[in-house]
Amino acid sequence: MVFVPEQSGKGYNSFHFFLFTQKFQDIQIELNSAFYLALMKKVLVTGGAGYIGSHTVIELCNDDFIPVIVDNFSNTDDRILEGLHQLLGYSPELYRVDCTDYNALKAVFSSERPDAVIHFAAFKAVGESTALPLKYYSNNIESLLVVLRLMEEFNVNDLVFSSSCTVYGQPEKLPVDETCPPQPATSPYGYSKQVCERIITDACAARPSLKCALLRYFNPIGAHPSALIGELPFGIPNNLVPYITQTAIGIRSQLTIHGSDYQTPDGTCIRDYIHVCDLASAHVKALRWLENQSAVCEAFNLGQGLGNSVKEVVDTFVRVNQSALPVVMGPRRPGDVEQVWADVSKANEQLQWKTERSLEQALKDAWKWEKHLQQAGVKS
Ligand code: UDP
């Protein structure tokens, strides 16, 4: 629409001229923002309302991507959407869709025309996967196949895939780097990640325009420092840190340390704990890295690059939060690897990414989130 200044009976005066310039500036701002919006890349985030997905949505917005969330809400709920709205000042586009539903996801691709995909949507409980292997294989593998088929149909080339350090099993060399060959998986969950990595590698080889970063997470913990988003409790936690915070707040009576006779300095297992916000920012770095690649499928370790024992995590939690924590020693948990931590130099160098938050910070943020859940009346 062209703006024509209105003419008064006495012709244009300086006030009209002022209005005209103002209006012209407004139009320019609108045009600039429309132009800028058109340049911003749209990223489909499957599982974007989940724990790592929601933190990644924040990081995407911080780096001027437009996130589009696809989630079936099997392991999250609308409270995370409220948190995202408060943090972002708007609600990202959202589709309540299961990624194994080809037609439903096709409709999302068709209306959104994404530039890239970050695929988080998967089941992730190791213990449950042993009891319900078919549920894990069908969901985790089928959803990836649907995403890959649609990426090909809609000519979407950049994929960031949520993988896991479980692919390494108990590595012979520590810290473990990406050249370490995968070990036989100890759970259907772990095997589903290995299979998905293989499927993506084969798909990239067959279609060279497809580019992928396979992100192998070590142990994501903590929550957004605002305590507006974090991991939602669904039943008894499997993972160490949610179990610690639920015990400290009184939902669980005591924490059991699974095994104190390992060949480690204090006898408890060693893991590489990484703040979820640091992990989230790596996804954005991976997308930026993919923009400048061709015909690539690369794995990256994402951890702190440090090992901490279960006992160290417990002691640090008590120290930084001044919180009482009833702890007992118990037997080993079947399937646990003794110790694993990451060599993160590849991600540091190629993705130009590094962690910025300590174990202390992550445990403070985890505790803040648990207290937020309590205030909000959330019971596990
Ligand atoms: N762990 C524990 N008590 C719990 C939960 C976990 O001692 O209630 C231990 C677990 O045996 C492992 C470490 O904490 O040695 C990290 O476990 P988590 O399940 O968080 O991560 P993963 O084993 O999958 O790396």
Residue 255 lies in a domain: yes
What is the domain count for the chain?
A: 1
Report the pLDDT value the prediction gives residue 27, as an integer from 0 to 100: 76
What's the chain's Rg over C-alpha atoms? 24
How does residue 84 score in pLDDT terms, banded at 50, 70 and 90?
A: very high
Whether 189 is a known active-site residue: answer yes
pLDDT mean across residues, the chain = 93
Burial class (CB within 10 angstroms; exposed 0-12, middle 13-18, buried 19+) of 287: buried
Q: Is the pLDDT of residue 22 over 80?
A: no
Residue 182 lies in a domain: yes
Is ligand 1 within 6 A of the CB of residue 269? Answer: yes
Nearest CA to ligand 1 atom 5: 240
Nearest CA to ligand 1 atom 23: 336
Ligand 1 centroid–CA 223 distance in Å is 18
pLDDT tens by residue, 23-77: 777 777 776 777 777 789 999 999 999 999 999 999 999 999 999 999 999 999 9
Nearby residues of 307 by Cβ (< 8 Å), 6 or more positions away: 174, 175, 270, 271, 272, 339, 340, 341
Residue with the bigger pLDDT between 349 and 39: it is: 349
Is ligand 1 within 6 A of the CB of residue 54? Answer: no
Q: Which atom of ligand 1 sits closest to the CA of residue 218?
A: 25
Report the pLDDT value the prediction gives residue 35, as an integer from 0 to 100: 72
pLDDT tens by residue, 234-269: 889 989 999 999 999 999 999 999 999 999 999 999
What SS3 state is found at 299?
strand
Residue 2 lies in a domain: no
- Domain that residue 91 falls in: 31-375
Q: For the domain that residue 308 is a member of, what is the CATH number? A: 3.40.50.720
pTM as predicted = 0.91
How does residue 15 score in pLDDT terms, banded at 50, 70 and 90?
A: low
Residue 340 lies in a domain: yes
Ligand 1 centroid–CA 51 distance in Å is 18
Nearest CA to ligand 1 atom 12: 269
Residue 85 lies in a domain: yes
Asked whether the beta carbons of 189 and 165 are under 8 A apart, the reply is: no
Residue 77 lies in a domain: yes
pLDDT tens by residue, 113-134: 999 999 999 999 888 899 999 9
Residue 109 lies in a domain: yes
Report the pLDDT value the prediction gives residue 7, as an integer from 0 to 100: 47
Ligand 1 centroid–CA 291 distance in Å is 36
Residue of 266, 273, 261 lying closest to 333 (CA atoms): 261
User: d(Cα 243, Cα 59) in Å, to the nearest integer?
Assistant: 27
Residue with the bigger pLDDT between 17 and 49: it is: 49
- pLDDT (average), residues 6-33: 66
Residue 324 lies in a domain: yes
Q: Which atom of ligand 1 sits closest to the CA of residue 340?
A: 25
- pLDDT (average), residues 5-14: 54
User: d(Cα 190, Cα 347) in Å, to the nearest integer?
Assistant: 22
Ligand 1 centroid–CA 361 distance in Å is 19
pLDDT tens by residue, 357-380: 999 999 999 999 999 999 988 766
